[in-house]
C-alpha cells in the first residue's frame, strides 16, 4: 500500500479516472435533477442525496463484484449471429426507460393542462423518484465501472476515484438542479440530452456503439448557445436608463 501511495502513476491514474467518472456522471446528475424537481422543494435535496448515495453504493458494489460485472460480457444466447449478453440486456432496458421517460417529460411540458393534471406530491412520490434513480444508477454505473477497470489496475484507486466523483456530483447537484428549474429552456435541453443518451444506450446494446464524445460535444455547444440566449434575454428585459440632460442652475 505504501508503494502504491508513493507512486506517481497512482496519482495520475487517480486524477484521470476521477475526471472521467465526473464526465460520465453528467447524465446521472441531469436525470437526478429533473426527477427531484418534480418533488416539493423541501424534499428535493433529500432525493438528490439519496440518489447519489445509491449511485455510490452501486458503483462500489459493482467494483467489489468486478468478476460478476465482467461475466456480463459473456454471451447468454446467440440469435442469428448476434450475441445477447447480460450487459446488453441491461443497457437496452435502461436506454428504453430513458427514452420513454424523457419523451414523457417533454410531452408534459408541452401540455397546457400539465399543472392542473399533476397529482399532489407526497412521501410515496419521493419513494418512487428514488426507485427510478436507483434503477437508472445501475445502468449508468456499468459504464463507470467498466471505465474504471480499463483505466486503473488497483481496486483502491478505482473506489477512491468513484467516491471523489460522487462527492463532486453531490456538491454541484443542487446548483445544477436550481439552474435547470430557473430556466425552462434548460430543462428541455437537459431532457433532449437524456433522450440522446437513451438512444445511445439502445444502439450500444444492439452492437452499434456511438462515441459519446460526439454527443457531449453537441450538448456542450447547445448549452453554450442557450447560455448566450439567456444572457441576451436578460439584457433585453433590463430597463434602459435614459440620461437626463444637464441643467444649469
Which range, of 16-30, 51-65, 108-122, 160-174, averages the lowest pLDDT? Answer: 108-122
**Distance between CA atoms of 25 and 48, rounded to whole angstroms?**
13
Among 111, 126, 157, 148, smallest CA distance to 43 is for: 126
Residue the block writes with cell 448476434:
82
pTM value is 0.70
Of 89-93, 118-122, 241-245, which range is least confident? Answer: 118-122
Range 196-215 average pLDDT: 82
Q: If we measure between CA atoms, which residue out of 117, 114, 102, 98 comes closest to residue 188?
A: 102
Higher-confidence residue of 87 and 212: namely: 87
Half-sphere exposure of 35 (CA within 13 A, CB side): 30
Tell me: pLDDT of 118 over 60.
Answer: no
What average pLDDT does this structure show over 110-134? 62
Confidence bin at 122 (pLDDT 50/70/90): very low
Average pLDDT over residues 77-87: 82
**What average pLDDT score do residues 139-144 get?**
74
Is the pLDDT at 144 greater than 60, yes or no?
A: yes
Residue pair 51/36 in contact (Cβ under 8 Å)? The answer is: yes
Please provide residue 219's backbone torsions phi and psi, each rounded to the nearest 5 degrees: -70, -35
Residue 213 has pLDDT above 80, yes or no: no
- For residues 164 and 243, which has the higher predicted lDDT (pLDDT)? 164
Amino acid at each position: 500500500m505504501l508503494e502504491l501511495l508513493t507512486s506517481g502513476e497512482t496519482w495520475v491514474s487517480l486524477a484521470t479516472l476521477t475526471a472521467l467518472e465526473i464526465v460520465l456522471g453528467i447524465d446521472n446528475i441531469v436525470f437526478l435533477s429533473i426527477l427531484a424537481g418534480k418533488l416539493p422543494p423541501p424534499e428535493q435535496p433529500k432525493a438528490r442525496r439519496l440518489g447519489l448515495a445509491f449511485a455510490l453504493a452501486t458503483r462500489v458494489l459493482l467494483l467489489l463484484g468486478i468478476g460478476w460485472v465482467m461475466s456480463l460480457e459473456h454471451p447468454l444466447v446467440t440469435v442469428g449471429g448476434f450475441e445477447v449478453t447480460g450487459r446488453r440486456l441491461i443497457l437496452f432496458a435502461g436506454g428504453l426507460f430513458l427514452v420513454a421517460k424523457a419523451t414523457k417529460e417533454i410531452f408534459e411540458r408541452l401540455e397546457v393542462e400539465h399543472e392542473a393534471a399533476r397529482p399532489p406530491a407526497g412521501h410515496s412520490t419521493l419513494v418512487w423518484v428514488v426507485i427510478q434513480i436507483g434503477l437508472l444508477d445501475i445502468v449508468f454505473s456499468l459504464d463507470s465501472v467498466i471505465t474504471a477497470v480499463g483505466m486503473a489496475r488497483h481496486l483502491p484507486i478505482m473506489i477512491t476515484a468513484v467516491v471523489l466523483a460522487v462527492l463532486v456530483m453531490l456538491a454541484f447537484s443542487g446548483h445544477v438542479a436550481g439552474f435547470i428549474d430557473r430556466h425552462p429552456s434548460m430543462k428541455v435541453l437537459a431532457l433532449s440530452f437524456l433522450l440522446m443518451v437513451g438512444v445511445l444506450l439502445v444502439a450500444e446494446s444492439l452492437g452499434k456503439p456511438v462515441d459519446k464524445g460526439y454527443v457531449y460535444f453537441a450538448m456542450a455547444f447547445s448549452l453554450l448557445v442557450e447560455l448566450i440566449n439567456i444572457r441576451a434575454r436578460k439584457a433585453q428585459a433590463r430597463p434602459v436608463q435614459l440620461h437626463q440632460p444637464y441643467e444649469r442652475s
